[in-house]
Amino acid sequence: MATGLEGVFLQHRAQLLRFLQSHGAGEAAEDLLQEVWLRAARAQAGPIAQPLAYLYRVANNLMLDRHRSQRQAAIRERDWSDATGATAPGRSDEPAGERVLIARETLAQVQATLAALGPRVEQTFRRHRLDGVPQRQIAEELGVSISTVESDLRKATSALVKLRSTWDEG
Amino acid sequence: MTNPIEPDPMTDEAIAWAVRVGDPAFDDWEGFERWLAADPAHAAAYHAASAAEAEMVALLAAEPKARPLPDPAPAPVARPAWRRWTIPAAAALAAAVVGTVAVERQMRPSAPVVYETAAGAHRTVALADGSSAILNGATRLEASGDDARSLTLVHGQATFTVRHDEAHPFRVAVGGASVVDVGTRFDIVRDARETRIAVSEGAVDWQRDGNSVRLNAGRSLRVADGSSQVELADVAPDTVGGWAQGQLSFDGVSLAEAAADLSRTLGTAVAVDAALAHRPVRATVRLDGGAARVMPRFAALTGLRAVRDGAGWRLAASP
């Protein structure tokens, strides 16, 4: 029910605003809080078990999306101003172009990076991030503790972030 | 090109938060907020790590999709095929999980031997150590490639007759727990979220997270995944694994579970009206004659009606 979610939103408004500010929202925080509410209300289908956690989740995703689009805008700008930049004026809005190229050249690198961490780490990461299986369930499936699952995910994420950082230098 | 960014302590912290926040069950939002607020650079590090990781995941999600399920008899392949499986097909994933467990235990990645049955089929498997297992329909059992006495019941139902060896216990992994034989005939059912075990001879130990429950002949155990509540009950020893002898016995299980057992055994869908799902069933039904005979027989024993429902059956209240 919208009134229930709205009540929770209004009651925790200040807390959610602080969360956005800590996320680096700056002066846009109030606007972003409105965006959180719009997204949350739009996406809501049926009762929500933990409305506050849900609102935090929406806010967190919003800030991640915002970071991503700012970053892509910065890349486009760099390419525009870069004399040797390959981005042609008519094609600069083609969002998939860059990614497809990277995919073709680097998928093997990503696979190798994960494989090098060992089968359990790789499988844990794939189960969680590709299949969307919660960490607790993965722990049960593999017969390991939840902290092992977390540690495996940290290893995988760390290796992938490190790999990604080596590509940024071009 | 010159300075690859080396993960530093702040990046490590950001990654640790990204992993925790990434779980749907995460609920420490205030703790996360405190970490972000402690230093403006934290948010930047978290965003960067999350974005980089998301990009890698997008690449992986676009990787060429699964090959068909390999033949149950494992062919030696340089790279286990399960590494490539990204489609959440239950059987494929189950194999992947089992493969991983076997690797972890033994530190030697030998491909597991897979025994599988289609719904409605039975299969008797002679294990390398002289023990045997009878698989009911829609079942997947895997034996470690290195140790025939280390098995995993991924899903379905199997009755084990074990050659006892004190020095080298026979062990079945199921639902995040182990069942260890103490000289035995026993039956395990593995459903989506639940394990049921019944012992007809000897005894087994059910072990999980350092806890152990001894089940002697004539006892059964039921446990839901993630629950610390273990239900113990009596079971008539001569009915354990009865499906393998042409009968199914239900001793107070819910109608929904009985329907799942019938479905597995007969190889046909068996639906239950929602209002009846929790109704307890006490009956023993013979399995000869196929679903067309068994379903009306079962319905008559339990005071229900069995009606055709598409290609399968539905159990409904008597008028």
**CB within 8 Å: A142 and B50:** no
Least CB–CB distance from B12: residue in A140, A142, A158: A158
Residues of A in contact with B145 (CB under 8 A): none
Size of interface A-B (CB pairs under 8 A): 162
- Minimal-distance CA residue of chain B relative to A120: B100
For residue A41, give both structure tokens: 């209300």
Give the DSSP H or E segment for B213. strand B211-216
Terminal alpha carbon distance of chain B = 78
Residues of B in contact with A144 (CB under 8 A): 104
Residue A153 has phi, psi (to 5 degrees) of -65, -35
ipTM above 0.90, yes or no: no
- Note the pLDDT of residue A42: 74
B165/chain A closest Cα distance in angstroms: 24
- Note the pLDDT of residue B75: 34
Instruction: Please provide the average confidence, as pLDDT, over all residues in chain A.
Output: 80
pLDDT (tens digit per residue) in B116-166: 887 777 778 888 787 888 888 788 898 887 787 889 998 888 888 888 777
- Note the pLDDT of residue A19: 97
- Minimal-distance CA residue of chain B relative to A170: B1
- Minimal-distance CA residue of chain A relative to B16: A154
**CB within 8 Å: A64 and B61:** no
Nearest to A170 by CA among A68, A104, A72, A84: A84
Beta strands in B82-202 (DSSP E): 113-116, 123-126, 132-135, 140-143, 150-161, 171-174, 177-181, 185-190, 194-201
Q: Do B304 and B317 meet the contact criterion of CB atoms below 8 Å apart?
A: yes
**CB within 8 Å: A50 and B27:** yes
B19 lies within 8 A of chain A by CB: yes
* A90 Cβ neighbours under 8 A, 6+ residues apart: none
Span A4-14, mean pLDDT? 89
Residue B85 has phi, psi (to 5 degrees) of -75, 115
A79 — pLDDT class (breaks 50, 70, 90): low
- Note the pLDDT of residue B95: 37
**CB within 8 Å: B50 and A110:** no
Least-confidence region, from A54-58, A91-95, B312-316: A91-95
A6 — pLDDT class (breaks 50, 70, 90): confident
Q: Which residue has the tokens 């008597």?
A: B318
| pLDDT by residue, tens only, chain B of 319 residues | 444 445 588 999 999 999 999 998 899 999 999 999 999 999 999 999 999 998 888 878 766 644 333 333 333 333 333 333 333 333 333 333 333 333 333 333 467 788 888 777 777 888 878 788 888 878 889 888 778 788 999 888 888 888 877 778 888 999 888 888 876 788 888 887 889 888 888 888 888 877 788 888 888 888 888 787 888 888 777 777 777 777 788 877 889 889 988 988 888 889 998 888 888 888 788 888 888 889 988 988 888 899 998 889 999 988 7
Grouping H, G, I as helix, E, B as strand and the rest as coil, residue B235 is coil
Least-confidence region, from A36-40, A70-74, B158-162: A70-74
pTM assigned to the model = 0.46
Residue A1 has pLDDT above 70, yes or no: no
- Minimal-distance CA residue of chain A relative to B174: A141
CB-CB neighbours of B3 under 10 Å: 9
- Minimal-distance CA residue of chain A relative to B224: A140
pLDDT (tens digit per residue) in A106-159: 788 888 999 999 999 999 999 898 888 889 999 998 999 999 999 999 999 999
Indicate the DSSP class of residue B64: P
- Note the pLDDT of residue A92: 41
Grouping H, G, I as helix, E, B as strand and the rest as coil, residue B166 is coil
Helical residues (DSSP H) of chain A, grouped into ranges: 2-11, 13-22, 29-43, 51-81, 95-115, 119-129, 135-142, 146-167
For residue A12, give both structure tokens: 């925790």
**CB within 8 Å: B29 and A68:** no
A142/chain B closest Cα distance in angstroms: 6
- Minimal-distance CA residue of chain B relative to A107: B59
**CB within 8 Å: A130 and B86:** yes
Angle between the N-to-C axes of helices B9-21 and B29-38, in degrees from 0 to 180, rounded to the nearest 10:
160
Nearest to B11 by CA among B62, B49, B43, B68: B49
Q: Do B11 and A161 meet the contact criterion of CB atoms below 8 Å apart?
A: yes
Least CB–CB distance from A154: residue in B19, B44, B100: B19
Indicate the DSSP class of residue B84: G
- Note the pLDDT of residue B183: 66
Least CB–CB distance from A161: residue in B2, B52, B88: B52
Q: Is B10 exposed, middle or buried (0-12, 13-18, 19+ CB in 10 A)?
A: middle
Q: Do B64 and A43 meet the contact criterion of CB atoms below 8 Å apart?
A: no
A47 — pLDDT class (breaks 50, 70, 90): low
Q: Do B188 and B197 meet the contact criterion of CB atoms below 8 Å apart?
A: yes
**CB within 8 Å: A153 and B22:** yes
- Note the pLDDT of residue A147: 94
- Note the pLDDT of residue B240: 76
pLDDT > 90 fraction of chain A, expressed in percent and rounded: 44
Least CB–CB distance from A136: residue in B1, B25, B99: B25
B15 lies within 8 A of chain A by CB: yes
